[in-house]
């Protein structure tokens, strides 16, 4: 698969804007868009919060891995991966081998505010959600650096982020 056909996989923390930016990027590039979390919900026929409640995080991650494997087999697509998907070694290897991974890097404060605003983040249903978020961010950020492209999103609008991604992709040849 040549790079223009390879799936583009947006990775990063919850609240990084993967879904919003992914939809816009797909439109600009004339690609299909898939939100992994949404596809998991469709497959499970229930919201992610319910999956976490009934099957815990392990059940969710197993289903997420299946869905991502299917999405990665599609050409000319933009995929918004779940925040923890890239942490799974096998899944990460598959993304790095079969797609172009793009880390949407923003400040923890900005991402937390966006993530908590939706109110449906199972991992943030805690006594101190800000601390849980910061702990997750600190545990994940080193793995996110393994992405093919890192986009600094701080203070940028979704449109500006898409422009930065397009410039980075052109730079890949």
Of the two residues 7 and 49, the one the predictor is more confident about is: 7
Token readout for 149 is 């492209």
Among candidate residues 63, 149, 64, 142, the one with its CA nearest the CA of residue 99:
149
Q: List pLDDT tens digits, range 118-171.
A: 656 666 677 788 898 899 999 999 999 999 999 999 999 999 999 999 999 998
Query: What's residue 55's pLDDT?
Result: 87
Which pLDDT score is estimated for 2?
Answer: 40
Closest CA to 103 of 43, 165, 55, 163: 165
Would residue 131 count as lying in a domain? Answer: yes
Residues 32-89 pLDDT 10s = 999 998 999 999 999 888 888 898 888 888 899 999 999 999 989 999 998 889 999 9
Specify if 47 maps to a domain.
yes
- Asked whether residue 23 is domain-assigned, the answer is yes
Q: How many domains does the chain have?
A: 1
Task: Record the pTM.
Answer: 0.90
What are residue 34's phi and psi, to 5 degrees?
-135, 130
CATH number at residue 96: 3.40.50.300
Structural domain containing residue 100: 8-171
Is residue 1 included in any domain, yes or no? no
> Does residue 65 fall inside a structural domain?
yes
């Amino acid at each position: 698969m040549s790079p223009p056909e390879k799936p583009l996989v947006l990775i990063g923390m919850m609240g990084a804007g993967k879904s919003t930016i992914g939809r816009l990027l797909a439109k600009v590039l004339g690609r299909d868009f898939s939100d992994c979390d949404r596809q998991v919900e469709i497959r499970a026929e229930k919201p992610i919060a319910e999956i976490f409640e009934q099957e815990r995080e392990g059940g969710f991650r197993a289903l997420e891995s299946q869905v991502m494997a299917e999405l990665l087999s599609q050409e000319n697509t933009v995929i918004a991966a779940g925040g923890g998907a890239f942490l799974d070694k096998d899944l990460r290897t598959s993304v790095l081998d079969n797609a172009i991974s793009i880390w949407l890097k923003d400040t923890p404060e900005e991402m937390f505010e966006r993530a908590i605003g939706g109110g449906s983040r199972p991992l943030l249903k805690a006594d101190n959600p800000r601390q849980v978020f910061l702990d997750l961010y600190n545990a994940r950020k080193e793995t996110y650096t393994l992405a093919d492209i890192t986009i600094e999103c701080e203070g940028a609008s979704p449109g500006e982020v898409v422009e930065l991604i397009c410039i980075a992709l052109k730079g890949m040849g």
